[in-house]
Structure 1
Amino acid sequence: MERNALIEQARQAFVERFGREPQAAGAAPGRVELLGNHTDYNQGFVLTSAIDRGTAVAGAAREVPQARVFSQGREGVASFDPQEPRHDDAAPWADYVKGVVHELNQAGAAVGGFDAAVVSDLPVGAGVSSSAALEVSAAQFLLTLYPHPILGDRMGLARLCQRAENDFVGAPTGLLDQFSSIFGQAGHALFLDCRSLQWRAVALPAERARILIADTGVKHALASGGGYRERRAQCEAAARWFGEQTGQPITALRDVSRETLEQYGPRMDPTLRKRAHHIVYENLRVEMGVEALTQGNLGAFGEMLNNTHESCRDLFENSAPEVDALVEIAQAQPGVYGAKITGGGWGGCAVILHEPGALAGLSEALAEGYRARFGRDTNLLPTVAAQGAEALRFE
């Protein structure tokens, strides 16, 4: 949905639920991870893009010190004290908003009472960062009502929203999602060094390359831990092992070179070796992918996507049969540069980079092939690299 239409939908939802006009709104896009699968919390490199689908939050301040948040498509209203937000098992989705409120208060924003309505055209649990889009759009909205200098510090705001997800929600995610949602640029992918936080935009022009997100319908839930938490622990254990073996100051797999991996890897626990191999070579693929895009070589860039999926499937083991099938179907179609899993894994989506004219045939092949294999439909989301988050005040 076009950004202004999404904000208008949030405005209407607010009026219908609370019977008055909103004062402000925040909007934030989802993201698609192009390269750099699970490299962010390993202090490595990522290549990402905001997409033209997202979440909008519209609302207004209240004189009473109480917050009420309504999410379109969900039952009821989540009510809480903005000075002391607490978890509510009846509305776990509201933890993402509460976490942002808590972190803003910790930063000195002094969030007061408010009413808010949330709308989104992002699939939940599909690996396109619906949670980060909710956090960032809520932060944009709240900082318009209750101003604080952090609104002008984009990286600081991304890290604040990451803390909300890590500490309040309990999902051990890296910075990739919030960074993508805030820093997105139309027609560009974003390269981020997750250690130094240096970044740059890399052209991904819509006239040459379009993005198709194919949703398997298999949901993942990062807050519940599962495979994501296990993979993070395995990466940390692998980094400690390399540090002990080499005597070098290795604090994350970012510090392990290809040569160190090849020299010491054969002596590792086989599972940890596979996880380390994926991360070490995935960081290299990100750098090679950026170089390919810089040179306008979309064919070489697509090969990086294909190689990443193979590594996720065989070494990091965070793919799923449904995602593998979509990637396999897409890779066989004309006009496709490359395809891979995107997001944390164990379900979610495949991301496919293709020529603009290839969409119709590609979509038909994916729909028919997926239905034939699994007896259900895949949800196809055509998109392009899009602009990042914004806030506005209604007149």
Structure 2
Amino acid sequence: MEQLIQQVEEEFQNRFGDNYKLIKSPGRVNLIGEHTDYNDGFVLPAAVDKGIYLAMNVNGTNSCRFYAIDKEESFETEIIGEFQKSDQGWPNYLLGVVDQLQKHGYEVGGFDCVFGGNVPIGAGMSSSAALEGGVLFGLAELNNWDIPPVEMAQIAQKAENDFVGVQCGIMDQFASLNGKEGNALKLDCRNLDYEYFPFNRDDIQIVLCDTQVRRELASSEYNVRREQCEQGVEILQQWDSEIESLRDLELSLLLRHEDDMDPTIFKRCKYVVEENKRVIQACSDLHQGAMDSFGQRMYQSHAGLRYEYEVSCEELDVLVDIARNLKGVFGARMMGGGFGGCTINIVQEDHVDSFTNQIKDKYQQQMNKEIKIYQTKVSSGTHLISSQKITSS
């Protein structure tokens, strides 16, 4: 990490000078609460210690000048009128933030930015949200803007929705910007109320097992699941007109009308209703320090995603089944949209090495494939790094 920070600082100094601010913007994991966000439900993410580091300063011109260390690519454009999307791809995450800030009434002048990170790309830890949040936070610091936490997350989300063109929910940006060290963040996706719950045990690691499976099916099936949930709401509104989303649905009402619904629609609704309840119960577990109970809810979540929401895949199921039988594992489940990606595992620190070795070996034996392992801990959200090398503009 120190080497990465040094690299970012030296690159900025070589390109743009010695006056800059250094920001860390973290990736995130979602402990529990999958596919509940677009149903106005609850999620329980946490910022993690892997992140993106950005050196930034205003430059007194109308030009944005960016350098991506990981890509070894630079980009420059003027802030005049509407931005055009870049064919390079990555600059759009930064330009999208500037575009949204302007639309929210903030006057953005020219600035320089050098960034690099250690958030694994494609592992479901939201490197894009970390980059958006870091740029946004940095510009607020440089310009002395007091942007409330909720508005900051909304601006970052809209940057990805409207400029990058990815229709993500708000969880990723919210968790990255507003995470708190030693805490998980319960977010109400309807009204964006949030609350922190302790996740601060030093004897626990979060271990991600990356199948390295990336399936295009995920995006198309994601849209199908959204439509199925909306269909369920329309059906159930016949008996309760106050139901606006699955967030409002009581399981008892759903069970009473199982025969009135297509079996697949029923399964989708049942999963979401129960997953929302699991998030609330998991928060209570954290408050009480009941990690065994918390872990069991993770397994229940995976079972729901596997059998009722049907967004898992063989690789994810095998990893969860292996983890369940390894010593020192509190809980495991698939994380993210599904059909590939990672499992998230809560593992006792003393057992992390044996867990890593065993799950790699057993997965190789069963699937004849390799997985990547990432170890991480709950950390603070986007923040300014104190350093003697940093001077304010």
Q: Same fold (TM over 0.5)?
A: yes
Within a 5 Å distance, the mapping from 1:142-161 to structure 2 comes to: 142-150=139-147, 153-161=148-156
Residues 24-73 of structure 1 show CA distances to partners (whole Å, capped at 9, x for unaligned) of 23321111101110111211111121111011221332333222222222
SS at match of 2:228: helix
CA distance in 2 between partners of 1:254 and 1:309 (Å): 19
TM superposition shift of 1:352:
0.3
C-alpha contact 2:203 2:350 (8 A) present in aligned 1:
no
Partner of 2:12: 14
Structural mapping, 1:121-270, within 5 Å? 121-150=118-147, 153-219=148-214, 225-243=219-237, 245-270=238-263
Choose from 264, 267, 279 the match for 1:271: 264
> Which whole-Å CA distance do the structure 1 matches of 2:308 and 2:288 have between them?
29
Distance 1:44 1:147, change over 3 A: same
The 8 Å contact of residues 70 and 117 in structure 2, kept in 1 or not, is answered as: no
The equivalent position to 1:361 in structure 2, one of 345, 354, 358, is: 354
- How far apart, CA to CA, are the structure 2 residues paired with 1:87 and 1:142? 20
Task: Say whether residues 1:65 and 2:62 are aligned partners.
Answer: yes
Per the alignment, residue 51 of structure 1 pairs with: 48
CA distance in structure 2 between the partners assigned to 1:72 and 1:220 by the alignment: 28
Does the 8 A contact of 1:227 with 1:346 survive in 2?
no
Over 3 Å counting, the alpha-carbon distance change for 1:101 and 1:87 in structure 2 is same
Gap runs ≥5 in structure 2? none
Aligned-pair identity (%): 34
Counterpart Cα distance in 1 of 2:89 and 2:235: 37
CA distance in 1, matches of 2:96, 2:313: 30
Query: Structure 1: which amino acid aligns with 2:338?
Result: G
Q: Amino acid of the residue matched to residue 112 of structure 1? A: G
Name the SS for the 2:257 alignment partner. Answer: helix
Cα distance change of structure 1 residues 349 and 13 upon mapping to structure 2, 3 Å threshold? farther
Q: 1:266 to 1:109 in 2, by over 3 A?
A: same
Aligned partner (choices 278, 287, 312) of residue 305 of structure 2: 312
- Quote the offset at 1:227 in angstroms: 2.9
Task: Give the Cα–Cα distance (whole angstroms) in 1 for the partners of residues 252 and 324 of structure 2.
Answer: 31
Q: Indicate how the Cα distance of structure 1 residues 322 and 106 shifts in structure 2: closer, same or farther if over 3 A, else same.
A: same
Q: In 2 relative to 1, CA 327–258 (structure 1 residues): closer, same or farther, beyond 3 Å?
A: same
Are 1:128 and 1:342, in contact at CA under 8 Å, matched by a contact in 2?
A: no
CA–CA distance in structure 1, aligned partners of residues 227 and 384 of structure 2: 37
**Separation of aligned partners in 1, 2:172 and 2:379:** 14
RMSD over aligned Cα, in angstroms? 2.2
Which residue is equivalent to 1:96?
Answer: 93
Relative to 1, partners in 2 of residues 1:264 and 1:22: Cα closer, same or farther, differing over 3 Å? Answer: farther
The answer on whether the counterparts of 2:8 and 2:53 sit within 8 Å (CA) in structure 1 is yes
| Contact persistence 1:190–1:199 (CA under 8 A) | yes
Alignment check: 8 A CA contact 2:16 2:112 kept: no
Segments ≥4 residues shifted beyond 6 Å: none
Q: Partners in 2 of 1:292 and 1:49 — Cα distance?
A: 16
SS at match of 2:275: helix
SS for the counterpart of 1:149 is coil
TM-score, scaled relative to structure 1: 0.91
**CA distance in structure 1 between the partners assigned to 2:17 and 2:184 by the alignment:** 39
**Partners of 2:215 and 2:52 in 1: CA distance:** 19
Offset at residue 75 of structure 1 (A): 5.0
Against the structure 1 CA distance between its residues 281 and 113, is the aligned structure 2 distance closer, same or farther, given a 3 Å change threshold? same
Q: Which amino acid aligns with 2:58?
A: A
Q: Whole-Å Cα distance in 2 between the matches of residues 369 and 46 of structure 1?
A: 31
Alignment of 1:242-391 (within 5 A): 242-243=236-237, 245-391=238-384
Provide the secondary structure at the position in 2 that maps to 1:316. coil
The residue number in structure 2 matching 1:80 is 77
